[in-house]
Amino acid sequence: MSVAVFKQTLWSKKIQNALDTLTGLRTHCDYQFDGEIKAGNKLKITGSVAPTIGTYVPGTDIEIENVDGNDQELVIDQFRYFARYFDNVDKAQSIPGVLENDSKECAKYLHEEGDKYVAKIMKTEIEKTDSKIKKGTPITPSKSNVVPAVEDGLVSLYEHNVKPTDEIYGEFSPKFYSSIRQALTEVLTNNVELAKKGAVGKYNNILVCIENLLPINTENKVKYNILRTSKAVAFAGQVDTVKAIEKEKGFGDIVKGLYVFGAKVVRPEQIYAILETITVPTQQTTQPEG
């Protein structure tokens, strides 16, 4: 049986490694919560809410704060999978690079699902009526207005105690990046450290990244370019299972992989949204025939 020699551990490691080496919205999150997670888990993030500081009056009782109420939960409730059919897994494994390339391709699309989810939860947080995420006035990016917009964002983050020495991710659309490119203080050329972090350059303490999966509000016709610290969003995920099964009616095999993950905005005050005006395509109405 071809399934009998399926290298399950090999596949699982290659897919997980490929996920870890890709960059994007997901990789700009806090990964300290990654580890052995399972579907449906809830991870406690203690200390994510500031403690209450009281004034002590000698001879009086003090108020005890419940630590359980001073945390947030990161729920692992997102499940994505792939299922691939091979005529013969043994034959595929005997050709160098076939399964490796296929697993990397699957990993890329699983990774994009994580990116999309991070964009989704940031969009939801930005658009709350009581959101703690500050945002600027919508602009059409140009060389004259992108730098002031970024500086406004830095001021907002500094006012919320983000240090000028802290690394901030600037997740910009291609159009926004094109306008701010000449203002960069460092560029990617031969800069290995920037490349490792998925950045194409730096502006002050901002790691400038080009992102094509930024949140969009089609009703207001704006795209949210993001400034944030890596602590603003928590993310945890893993490839939960990879297995091969024989096709019930046929001679080939099906390889399946499940990716479980979760993300949460835990420090919204460490996010700033720069609103970029966009053109939303008008949907054409198809006329009935006859």
pTM score, two decimals?
0.81
Q: Mean pLDDT over all residues of the chain?
A: 82
Rounded Cα–Cα distance for residues 266 and 71 (Å): 9
* 121 CB burial (10 A radius; 0-12, 13-18, 19+): middle
Query: Predicted confidence band at 159 (pLDDT cuts at 50, 70, 90)?
Result: very high
pLDDT of residue 71: 67
- Answer positive or negative: Cα dihedral of 160, 166, 172, 178: positive
- Give the whole-number percent of the chain exceeding pLDDT 70: 79
pLDDT at 97 over 90: no
Query: Predicted confidence band at 278 (pLDDT cuts at 50, 70, 90)?
Result: very high
Residue-range domains of the chain with CATH: 3-277 (3.90.1690)
Contact criterion met (CB below 8 Å) for 107 and 19:
yes
Contact criterion met (CB below 8 Å) for 244 and 6:
yes
Contact criterion met (CB below 8 Å) for 202 and 1:
no
- Who wins on pLDDT, 9 or 22? 9
pLDDT of residue 25: 87
Q: What's the pLDDT tens digit per position in 253-273?
A: 788 888 889 999 999 999 999
> Which segment, 109-118, 164-173, 254-263, 275-284, is predicted with the most confidence on average?
164-173
* Residue 171 phi, psi dihedral angles, 5° rounding: -100, 100
pLDDT of residue 197: 77
Structure tokens at 99: 């399964």
- Who wins on pLDDT, 225 or 69? 225
